[in-house]
A and B are shown apart, each in its own frame.
Chain A
Amino acid sequence: MTARRPAPGDVPTFRVVRRSPYAYGDLPWLQALDPPGGPPAVRVGSLDELMQRDARREEDGFPRKIRIGKLVKPARGGQKVVVVPTTVEEKLLHDNSISDSQEGGGGSGGSGEGDEGEVIGEQPVRPEEGEGDGQGPGQGEGAEHELESNAYDLGRILTEQFNLPNLEEKGRRRSLTRYTYDLTDRNRGFGQLLDKKATLRRIIQTNIALGRIDPRREMDPTGFLIAPRDRVYRVLSRERDFESQAVVFFLRDYSGSMGGKPTELVVSQHVLIYSWLLYQYGGLVETRFILHDTEAKEVEDFYTYHNSQVAGGTKVASAFRLMNEIVREENLQQDYNIYAFYGTDGDDWDTEGKETLPQIEEALRYVARAGVSITERSFGARRESEVEKYLEASGLLESHARNLRLDVMPDGADEARIIEGIRVLTAP
C-alpha cells in the first residue's frame, strides 16, 4: 500500500509521535510530574573519579565502559547542556534499526478518520530547534548551553589520558597565536617603569593596615610609611595577539542513512576534536558548523550540530560548496588558518564525486588540514563506500598528502578507535 499524496497544506503537522506503549509512565502522564531535573552529573562523582574507574577496568582486563563527550539536556529549565560521562549496559537485544528508520518499517497505532492510504499528517524530517525527544546524538531539544567549561575538561582528559598529540609541541609551523611584547605585566619591588597610580594605591593600603590613616582627619601623605614592595613597576612581557586565529569547520552528513551508529561515531569524534582544540588553544579557535543532506546549512552552535537528525538523501558536494562560499564571502583565508573536519557514512548520490571532488579541491587550496572520517557499515561484505572510492581514485590523497587526511572506521568502532582516528586526522 502506498500513500496517496494530497496537496501540501491539507494535512496537520505532527511534532512528536510517541510510538511505543512503554513510552508512557504514570508520574509524567497522570500527574504531570516532570522527570527529574538537573544534570545527572550531580549524581556522579567527579569526572576524574569515573575515568579512574574506567582505567581500572582496563587493568583488570575488561574493556572501558564509560564514554565521554556526549551531551545531555537537563529536563527542567533547559538552560544548560553539559558533557557528562555516559554508559550503556550491554545485553543481548533485538536490533530494530534495520527496519525502524525506513519507510514501512515502523508501523504505529492510530485512530480517527481517514481511508486506507490517505495521508493524515506530516512530521518534519528536519526537526526545528526545540523539538524531539531523547538524548543521544541526533536527538534532543535545543537550548542555551554551557558546553565550554566541560568540553575543556574533556579536552584535558583526552590530552592527558589518551595521549593525543599536543599541538604546541609540534613547533609553531601553524601556530595559532602571534606574540607581541609590551609593558603590560606588573611586578612589585623592581622593574622597568614605575606605575605611580598602582604604587600609591598600595602605599595607602599598607598605611591603612598599619593604622596610620585616620578617616576622620585629613590625610597627610608626608606621614606615610613606604615599604619596598609597595612600589609597583611595569615590566616588558609577551602578549598573545588575538588577531591570528584558526577557524575550524565541522561538517557532517545528517541524512537518513546516517541514523544511529554512524551519526554517533561522527559526532563523538567531532565532540572530541572540538574539546581537544578548545583545550589546546584556550578558546582561540573559532568554530563553524555545517550540516548537510542534499542541501547544506550552517548551524550556529555545536549543540544544534550535535543533535540534528534528518532522513533525506545525500549530496556531499553541498557541504563543501557551502564551506567554500563562507570562506570566500568572509575572506577567511586571509586572516585564519582553516581546518575542516568532515564526517559521513560514505554514501553519496553523486557516486563518482563529479560534483564533490571539484569542491574538495577548491577547499584544499586554503585549508591547513582537512580530515575526512567515514564510518563504514560493518555488516555484509566489505564494500568501499562511494566517498572513499572516489577520494581514492582522485589521487587527491597523495597529491595533497599534507593537508588532506582520510580515516575509515568500522561502525562498531569504540572510543579508542575514534581517538585513534583523531590521531590520523591531525598527525603532522
Chain B
Amino acid sequence: MQLIDQHAKAIMEGCKERARDAGLRFEDESLEYVVTNRDMIELSPKIMIPTLYDYWVHDVEVLQGKGRYELYPHNPYETVINTRPAISYYNDNNPDWLNVMIFYHVLGHIDFFQNNLYYRHTWDDDFAGRALADKRAIAKLRSEHGRWVDYVIEFARGMDNLVDFHGLVSDEHRPPHGPWSTRLDWYLDVFLQEEKQVRVSEYVQEVERYNQCVRDHGEDDAEEAYFADVVRRYPEFQAMYEKARTEHAPNDLRDIMRFVLEHSPFLERDENAWMRQIVQIVRETSLYFQPQIRTKIMNEGWASYWHETLFMQDDRIGGHEVDFARVNAAVTSMPRVGLNPYALGMRLFYFIEEAANKGRYSHKFLALLDQHQRREFDTHTGVGREFIFAVRENLNDYLFTSTFIEQDFVDRHELFVADKVLDEQRMVWQWYVKSRNADDYKQMVHDQLYHPPHVTIDPGRTKGGALALVHHFEGKPLVRDYIANTLLGIEYLWGGPVTLETTDVGDVQPSESPDQTPEVTWQRVRYTMRDRKLKREEI
C-alpha cells in the first residue's frame, strides 16, 4: 500500500476546507492510500482493516449465498474505514475531477463516522491500532496454544452477532445516575409496576411521596424515611429486592457473548484465561462494525448528498460537469428494481431538508388535511440544513426510514414495492408493481435491513452448569444447518450443556398446484447440545 501523491493530497486538503465551510465536522488528519489488486486480495477478507487479526477462514474462499449479508454484515469493499486517522483507499488512475468527487464522498463518511451517535463507542481510540495490538496478542497466544487458538476464535465468532449493540449505545448515552439508590429504582420501576401492577394514580402518589420525603428530610435521609413506610406496607419487599439483586439484570441477558464471557465456569478457570482474551477481542471487533451495518442507507445517502452538493460548488473542477454527471447518475440513480442505498438515502436527505425548510415537521402542517394547503405550505424556516445535521447525528437506518419515508416522498420519486411472479410458459420471472403505498414501501425497506435473530439468556433454566438460550421468533426460523456447530462452539466455551429454544418449520403442506405457495406451520422446539451431541425435542 502506498500513500497517494502530494498532488492528490493537496486536492484532498482543499476538499476538507470546503467541506468544513459547508458545516461538516471531522478530525484534521486522514490517510489516503492507493490500492492495487494485490492489496485488495489481502484487504478484503480483513474488511479493509489492514491490521486485523489473522484467522485461517479469512484465507479460504467462504461459501456465499445463504445469509451472505447476515453472516458477514460488513462490506469487504469499503472505501473508508472508521479509524483515527480515517483511512481511505483509491484506485491508482483516478483523474483529478473524479478524485474530488470521491474525496467529498469520503469526507461525508468520515463526518458521519465521527458524529453519528451510534458510533460513540468507536470515538475514543484508533481501531487500526487496537486491531494491531489484538493481532499481536493472538499471534502470541497462537505460539503458546497452537490450533486451539483458532478453535476459540471460531467458536467466539459463531456468536459474534449475538451482542447487545443497542445496550452498549444506550449505556454510552445514559445520563449519570442521581444520588438515589438502586433500591428506589427497583421499587418504582419494577416492584410497583411489574409486581404489584399499581394504578397510575397510586404510582404517581408514591413518586410524590418520595419527593415529599426529600423536602422533609433532605436528600440524605429521604430514603430511610421513605422505605420505613414501604416495608410496613409491603413486608415482602425487602426479601424480593434482595433476591432480584442477585439475579441477572435484563441488560445482561441480551448479550450472549458477554454473558458467556462473564459467567462461563469454563472460561473462569485459570488455565483458560487466555481464551477470555480472544473472546473479548472477537466481541469488540464485532461491536466496532455494528453501527456500520445499521447505518448503511444513511451513511451512503449522507456521503452522496455531500459529494453532489460540494462537487457542484467546487471551483477547481470546471469543465468536468458532464463527466461528473455521468458517474454521479450511475451511482445515485434509483434502479428500476432494487434498493440502492446511495440513491434512497440521498433523496431522503434532500427531501427532509426541503420539508424542514418549509416547516413541515410541525404540528401545524401535520394537522392540515386539505391537499392544496398541504402542497402550498411553506413557512420559510430556513433550518433545513441544520435539521439534516441533527438527523445524521441521532438516527440509524431503521429510525431514518421509518420516520421520514412518507407518501409525499414515495410519490415524488415514483417509488414502489416490486415483486415477481413466475411465468411458467416462458420461464421468466415477471416483475410487477405491487404497491405504491408508503407504508408498504417502508415495510419492504425494513424487511431488508440487517436484523440478527433476537436471542436472549433464559435465567430460569441457566443453572446447574447449563446455559439456556431463547430465540424470540419473529416470523423466520433459524438456518437449521448452522445450529449444531454454533451450539457446539458455545458449549465448548461455556463448559456445559447448552440449550436453545427456537421455532422450526413444523410442517409444510405441499402446494396443490405449482401456482400455490406451500403453507407452513410452526413448531416450538428445544435443541440441546450436550457432549458435542445435538438433540432436538418439540415443546
Interface residues of A (CB under 8 A from B): 1-5, 8, 11-14, 17-45, 50, 53, 56, 60-63, 65-67, 70, 72, 76, 84-99, 102-126, 134-136, 139, 256, 260-261, 293, 310-313, 349, 377-381, 412
* Residue among A23, A31, A37 with max Cβ neighbours from chain B (10 Å): A31
- Decide: B417 and A109 in contact? CB cutoff 8 A: yes
Check A24 against B476 for contact (C-beta < 8 Å).
Answer: no
Whole-angstrom CA separation of A25 from B72 in the bound complex? 13
CA distance A56 to B77 in the complex (A): 33
Binds A, one of B61-69, B190-198, B202-210, B358-366: B61-69
How many Å from the CB of B212 to the closest CB on chain A? Answer: 50
B430 vs chain A, min Cβ distance (A): 5
Contact B67 A96 (CB under 8 A): yes
Q: How far is the CA of A56 from the CA of B423 in the complex (A)?
A: 50
16 further contact pairs, Cβ within 8 A, besides A38-B41, A111-B413: A18-B340, A19-B338, A25-B78, A26-B78, A42-B41, A86-B63, A89-B157, A95-B476, A103-B420, A107-B444, A108-B339, A108-B418, A114-B432, A116-B434, A119-B431, A125-B428
What is the chain B residue whose CB lies nearest that of A95?
B479
Query: What's the Cα separation between A94 and B447 when bound, in Å?
Result: 12
Residue among A110, A124, A256, A378 with max Cβ neighbours from chain B (10 Å): A110
Closest to A29 in B: B331
Within 8 A of A (CB), among B372-419: 413-419
Residue of B nearest to A133 (CB): B64
Contacting pair B63 A94 (CB below 8 A): no
Q: Which residues of B contact A13 (CB under 8 A)?
A: 428
Q: How far is the CA of A92 from the CA of B452 in the complex (A)?
A: 8
* A302→B98 CA distance, assembly (Å): 42
Residues of B within 8 A of A381 (CB): 507
Interface contact B41-A43, CB-CB below 8 Å: yes
Distance (whole angstroms) from the CB of B303 to the closest CB of chain A: 8
In the complex, A109 Cα to B413 Cα: how many Å?
12
Residues in B274-308 with C-beta less than 8 Å from chain A: 293, 296-297, 300
Q: How far is the CB of B416 from chain A (nearest CB, A)?
A: 5
Residue of chain B at shortest CB distance from A312: B427
Check B69–A22 contact: CB distance below 8 A.
Answer: yes
Contact A87 B428 (CB under 8 A): no
Which of A26, A92, A121, A136 makes the CB contact (< 8 A) with B486? A92
Among B432, B447, B476: residue with most chain A CB under 10 A: B432
- In the complex, the answer to whether A134 meets B65 with C-beta atoms within 8 Å is yes
Q: Are A121 and B337 in contact (CB under 8 A)?
A: yes
Cβ of A67: which chain B residues have Cβ within 8 Å of it?
Answer: 63
Whether the pair B339, A53 counts as a contact (CB closer than 8 A) is no
Question: On chain B, which size bracket covers the interface?
Answer: 35 or more
Establish whether residues A116 and B435, one from each chain, have CB atoms under 8 Å apart when the complex forms: yes
**Contact among A66, A91, A107 with B482 in the assembled complex (CB-CB below 8 Å):** A91
Q: Is the CB of A90 within 8 A of B478?
A: no
| B60, B63, B421, B507 interface centre (most CB from chain A within 10 Å) | B60
Name the B residues within 8 Å of A124 (CB-CB).
Answer: 427-429
Distance in Å from the Cβ of A391 to the closest Cβ of chain B? 19
Interface centre among A33, A34, A86, A92 (most CB of B within 10 A): A92
Residue of A nearest to B449 (CB): A21
A-B contact pairs, 15 of them (CB 8 A): A1-B434, A5-B423, A8-B426, A14-B431, A30-B102, A30-B331, A63-B484, A93-B479, A96-B67, A98-B477, A109-B418, A110-B415, A110-B417, A381-B507, A412-B481
Whole-angstrom distance between the alpha carbons of A39 and B314 in the complex?
41
| Docked-complex contact A31 and B79, CB < 8 angstroms | yes
Tell me if B334 counts as interface (CB < 8 A to partner A): yes
The stretch from B5-13, B86-94, B260-268 touching chain A is: B86-94
Q: Which residue of A lies closest to B293 (CB)?
A: A22
**CB of B124 to closest CB in A, whole Å:** 25
- A1 CA to B151 CA in the complex, in Å? 50
The answer on a CB contact under 8 Å between B482 and A111 is no
Which residues does chain B contribute within 8 Å of A112, judged by CB atoms? 334, 336, 414
Complex interface: chain A residues within 8 A of B138 (CB): none
B161 to chain A minimum Cβ distance, whole angstroms, is 5
- Given known pairs A109-B445, A111-B334, A120-B433, the reply for A30 and B105 (CB within 8 Å) is yes
Cα of A21 to Cα of B342 in the assembled complex, Å: 9
CB pair A14–B337 under 8 Å, yes or no, is: yes
The interface residues of chain A lying within 8 Å CB-to-CB of B90 are 31
Distance of B89 from chain A, by nearest CB (Å): 7
Chain A CB count within 10 A is highest, among B67, B430, B448, for B430
Q: State which of B37, B157, B162, B449 has its C-beta within 8 Å of the C-beta of A37.
A: B37
Residues of B within 8 A of A50 (CB): 60
The 7 nearest A-B residue pairs measured at CB: A26-B79, A25-B77, A110-B418, A90-B482, A111-B334, A3-B432, A109-B339
The minimal Cβ–Cβ distance linking B104 to chain A, given in whole angstroms, is: 11
Chain A CB within 8 A of B80 CB: yes
Is B44 in contact with chain A by the CB < 8 A criterion? yes
Closest to B78 in A: A26
Q: How far is the CA of A313 from the CA of B419 in the complex (A)?
A: 20
A88 to B158, CA, bound (A): 11
Cα distance, A249 to B342, chains bound together (Å): 48
Minimal beta-carbon separation of B253 from chain A (angstroms): 16
Would you call B335 an interface residue if the criterion is a C-beta within 8 Å of the partner chain's C-beta atoms?
yes
B506 (CB) vs chain A CBs: closest residue: A380
Q: Decide: A87 near B57, CB < 8 A? Known: A25-B75, A260-B66.
A: yes
Whether A107 and B419, one on each chain, are in contact in the complex, defined by CB atoms closer than 8 angstroms, is yes
Which A residues are in CB contact (< 8 Å) with B296? Answer: 21-22
- CB neighbours of A34 from chain B (8 A): 37
Distance in angstroms from B79 CB to nearest chain A CB is: 4
- Expressed in whole angstroms, the minimum distance between the Cβ of A129 and any Cβ of chain B is 15
Closest to B428 in A: A122
Select which of A1, A3, A26, A90 is within 8 A of B158 by beta carbon: A90
With beta carbons under 8 angstroms apart, the residue of A35, A116, A120, A136 that contacts B77 is A35
CB distance from A237 to the nearest CB of B (A): 44
Do B429 and A311 touch (CB < 8 A)? yes
Task: Tell me the nearest residue of chain B to A294, going by C-beta.
Answer: B424
Instruction: Using CB atoms, name the residue of chain A closest to B340.
Output: A24
Contact between B430 and A5, CB atoms less than 8 A apart: yes
| Interface residue B450 (Cβ < 8 Å from any Cβ of A) | yes
Q: Note all chain B residues with C-beta closer than 8 A to A17.
A: 337-338, 431
The answer to the question of B349 belonging to the interface, with a C-beta cut-off of 8 Å to chain A, is no
Query: Are B105 and A26 touching (Cβ within 8 A)?
Result: yes
Contact residue among B65, B413, B434 (Cβ-Cβ distance under 8 Å from A107): B434
Who on chain B is nearest to A116 by CB? B433
Chain A residues contacting B436 (CB-CB under 8 Å) are: 116
Which B residues lie within 8 Å of A99 (CB)?
Answer: 476
Interface centre among A33, A39, A113, by most chain B C-beta atoms within 10 angstroms, is A33
- Complex Cα–Cα for A139 and B423 (A): 21
Q: Is the CB of A30 within 8 A of B419?
A: no
Q: Is the pair B427, A36 in contact by a Cβ cutoff of 8 Å?
A: no
Residue with the greatest number of chain A CB neighbours at <10 A, chosen from B433, B451, B483: B433
Question: Contacts of B57 on A, CB cut-off 8 Å?
Answer: 87, 89
Whether A91 lies near B432 (C-beta < 8 A) is no
| Alpha-carbon distance between A65 and B60 when the two chains are bound, in angstroms | 11
Beta-carbon contact of A31 and B508 below 8 Å: no
From the candidates B37, B70, B420, B480, name the one contacting A379 in the complex (CB within 8 A).
Answer: B480
Alpha-carbon distance between A135 and B284 when the two chains are bound, in angstroms: 30
Q: Which residues of B contact A1 (CB under 8 A)?
A: 434-435
Does the CB pair B478–A93 fall under 8 Å?
A: yes
Are B428 and A30 touching (Cβ within 8 A)? Answer: no
| A103/B483 in contact, CB under 8 A | no
The yes or no answer to B248 lying at the interface (CB within 8 A) is: no
A44 & B161 in contact (Cβ 8 Å cutoff): no
- By the criterion CB–CB under 8 Å, are A22 and B75 in contact? yes
